[in-house]
Structures are given as structure tokens and as C-alpha cells.
Amino acid sequence: MNVDLSGFLTKELKKTIREYRAACSENDSRIVREKAHICAILSQKLAEQSPSFRNKYLSDAKKWEFIASGKNPVSLDISNRDPSRRPETQDSANESDLDFDATSLISSSSVRWDDIGGLDEVKRLVKETVVIAGLRKPAAIQPWKGILLFGPPGTGKTMIAAAAAGSLHATFFDVKADRILSKYFGESSKIIASLYASARKRAPSIVFIDEFDALGSARSEGTGEATRKLLSSLLTELDGLQDKNADRLLLTMAATNTPWDLDPAVLSRFPRRIFVTLPDEASCAAIIRLHLRGLEVADLEISDLGRRCVEQGYSGRDIQNLCQQAIWAMIHEENPQLEKLADLTFDELSEQVLKTRGLFAGDFTEAFEIVRSPVREADLDRYRQWSEEYGGM
């Protein structure tokens, strides 16, 4: 197991920094350079222990080495660049350590509510939450801090979160579990702290955690110490103790395909739990129209296609694949020698025009044969049962 020595190294760095500052106050240049050199070594070792924060610690090491070289005045104040320093406020403390890493999770969302076909009830529930957060209101009225989106894969959970952020022009942290999980003991909990410190600074913010079950799975006797530490850090941030008096939105939205795997303590931090199920006929038709925008569809009975999608048990992603298959059937028919154009340069290709025509029902015939839904009725029954038991909407 990779042992986390960053705690010990940080304590040593703090102690050495105090000695460095004492030497500065006494104008003892020899001790100043000696302590700066030790700080540089400790910073380099911290960089080795924490790969996610490697660049920051290496940058600090270079600054310490510069001081140790004697080229810098003794009175130089590097406190703002000291990786172990903890300013007075919690926001500054977390951010000074880890914010540089969390900013890599920020994603610009241009998605709007109208870009999502169907899901009207789901959109209404999420819209209510973000609207309440922004309105002036009595202190007793507080917006939800956490929304759990659960349901079969491909039903639009990520799009819902992106639309909430895009419509509000909020900072959108698009977090995948593998960006947080680390093989180094204790590092994942630091990334969690960084994430929320950065989100508080950049509020209004929406933190969207996909594949949430990978982070919030139920604890058991076999759960390792690193996993427990990660879960404890996550629970602390979801409690939002630093945000009790904040008037800016910091909303955590999590998506999972397996809500029954979540730890009860984690689940309690998400009072609003929304079941994002497969689309009905009207929603299927709306999704089809979205994916066929810009093409001639006058000869299509889109309502009939929507009915067939329901019969096939399609999710929103399945319908997207269906439309793509149908479009390619049309393209192949209209451009039978398409692959021969691969011998042209890109500039030459840009002078050519792809032949298209309106779509017909026949274009979808083979597409329905190719696209298969992985969701079974038994799967939906399990989601419904969980929703009824744990208060899903």
C-alpha cells in the first residue's frame, strides 16, 4: 500500500517555515538560507507524495531554492505561496492548498432547458430548486443543497445538471469519479476539499458528480481506511457547514444508476431524490425532433416513431443512436461512393457538398433492428421499488 507521508512532511514544513521567519526577523541570512533550503527539499518530497498537486509543490520548491541561493532579500514574504499555510477563513485555507487542481474540473455549459427533450417533471423539480436559491426569501426558507438523480443509464441525468448550470450561467464542476479517486492514501479527501473550496469561491456553482455510487457506496466491515476517509470528507462537504449563511448558490447534483448501493449517511445529504426514468411517447417524439433538427422530416410520422421507442424500452441515449443510424442510412443511399473521397486533402474535401434528402420511415427500419436497449422491465421495477421506499420523486 502507498503510505501517505504528506501529513508528516507538512508538519515539518510548517515548523521549518516558523524557524525561517524567526531568522528573517533577526536578519540572520545564514539561517534564512539554510531553512529555505530545507523547505525546498520538503516541498519536493510533498510533490512526490501528492501527484495531483505536484506542480504546485514543485513551484513552491523553486521559490524556496531561490531564497536559499541568497539572491533574494531576507525580508521576502512568501506566506501567500506557502503550501502549508492556513489563513483565517476556511475557504482560503482549502483553496490555497488545492484550488489549482479543482479548476480543471470546471466545464463551460452551453446547455439550456430547451435542449432537453421531454423530462418535463424532472426539469420542473430541478428548476424549482435553483429558482428558490436565487430569490429573496425569509431565512426559514432554504433551497435544497443536494439533488440525487437516479435511474437507468442514458436517461439524461448529465444533461439536466448541465442545463441547470447553463441556464443560470453558474460555474459548472463536471466531476467524474475517476478524477477524484486516487491510489495514494488520503489524497482523494484532499481533492474533495479542493473541489468545494473552489466551488464556494466561484458561486453560484453547481457540482455535478457522475457515477456517484463509486464515491458514496455503503460502508461495510471490509471497507478500507482510505475509503472511509474519503467518505468522511465527502459527508463534511455535503453538510455544507461553511455555507449556512451564504446567499450564493452551491448545489451538489449527483447521478447514479445504482441508488441502492449508496451509503445511508450519504443518501441523507440528498433530500431531493428524483427518478429519471425512460421517456414516454411524447418525450420520445420530442427527443427525436431535437436530434433531427435541420433535416427534412415532413414525411415522417414522428409520433409513431415515439411509440415504437417506448415499445423498445429506449432511453434518451438509445434514441440519439437510433436517429444517427437512420441518418447514416440516408447518407449511404445518397452517397454510395463516399469512401473514395478519403483520398482528397481536407481543403479539397471542404469544397465538396454532402448529398442529403428528407428522411423516410424506411430509414429507421434497420435502425430499430440495430439499436437495442440494455434496460429490462425487471430493472425498472427495481428503480420504482427503491423510489417508493426512499422517497424518490
Domain finish residue from 230, 260, 275: 275
Do 216 and 310 reside in the same domain of the chain? no
Q: Reduced to 3 states, what is the DSSP secondary structure of residue 252?
A: strand
Per-residue pLDDT at 266? 86
Mean pLDDT across 156-175: 89
Q: Is the pLDDT score of 110 beyond 50?
A: yes
Q: What CATH number is given to the structural domain containing 238?
A: 3.40.50.300
In sequence order, what DSSP letters do the residues of 127-169 get, joined into one string?
A: HHHHHHHHS---TT----SEEEEESSTTSSHHHHHHHHHHHHT
What's the structural domain count of the chain? 3
- Of 292, 288, 371, 301, which Cα lies nearest the Cα of 330? 292
197 and 260 share a domain? yes
Considering the domain boundaries, does residue 166 fall inside one? yes
Establish if 356 belongs to a structural domain: yes
The stretch 124-137 carries a mean pLDDT of: 86
Better-predicted residue by pLDDT, 290 or 105 = 290
Tell me: do 230 and 193 sit in the same domain: yes
Domain boundary among 275, 291, 322: 275
| Domain membership flag for residue 95 | no
Closest CA to 192 of 177, 211, 210: 177
Q: Name the band, by pLDDT with cuts 50, 70 and 90, for residue 96.
A: very low
pLDDT value at residue 12? 87
253 and 175 belong to one structural domain = yes
**pTM recorded for the entire structure:** 0.70
Query: Within this chain, do residues 264 and 298 fall inside the same structural domain, yes or no?
Result: no
% of residues, the chain, pLDDT over 70 = 81
> Does residue 354 lie in a domain region?
yes
Q: How confident is the model at residue 71 (pLDDT cuts 50, 70, 90)?
A: low
Dihedral pair phi/psi, residue 174, rounded to 5°? -95, 100
Q: Is residue 155 part of a domain?
A: yes
How far apart CA 377 and CA 381 sit, in angstroms, is 6
Average pLDDT, the chain: 82
**Which whole-number Å values give the CA distances from 86 to 13, 76, 79, 240, 306, in the listed order?**
13, 19, 10, 20, 57
Contact 244, 200 (CB under 8 A): no
Query: Same structural domain for residues 270 and 131?
Result: yes
* DSSP symbol at 69: T
Q: How many residues does the chain have?
A: 393
pLDDT digits over 294-306, tens only? 899 988 999 999 9
Q: Is residue 97 part of a domain?
A: no
Q: For residue range 333-391, what is the model confidence (pLDDT) as tens digits?
A: 999 888 888 888 999 988 888 999 999 999 999 999 999 999 999 999 999 999 999 87
In angstroms, the CA 232 to CA 24 distance is: 40
On the question of pLDDT at 165 being above 60, the answer is yes
Grid cell 443536494 is found at 146
Tell whether 69 and 148 lie within a shared domain.
no
CB-based contacts of 71: which residues, under 8 Å, 6+ apart?
none
Does one domain contain both 261 and 297? no
Range of the domain at 134: 104-275
- The answer to whether the CB of 315 falls within 8 A of the CB of 154 is yes
pLDDT of residue 151: 94
Report CA 286 to chain centroid distance, whole Å: 27
Which range has highest mean pLDDT (18-22, 179-183, 213-217)? Answer: 18-22
pLDDT in tens, 213-241: 877 776 655 555 666 777 788 888 887 65
| Rounded CA separation 130/147 (Å) | 11
Report whether 20 contacts 39 (CB < 8 A): yes
Judgement on whether residues 21 and 153 belong to the same structural domain of the protein: no
- Please work out, in degrees rounded to the nearest 5, the angle formed at the alpha carbon of residue 195 by the alpha carbons of 59 and 238: 150
- The residue behind cell 426559514 is 140
Residue recorded with cell 441547470 = 164
In the predicted model, what is the mean pLDDT of residues 90-96? Answer: 36
Q: Do 254 and 134 share a structural domain?
A: yes
Per-residue model confidence (pLDDT) at position 321: 95
CATH number, domain of 362, equals 1.10.8.60
Q: Please give the average per-residue pLDDT across 6-16, as a whole number.
A: 81
C-alpha cell at 175: 466531476
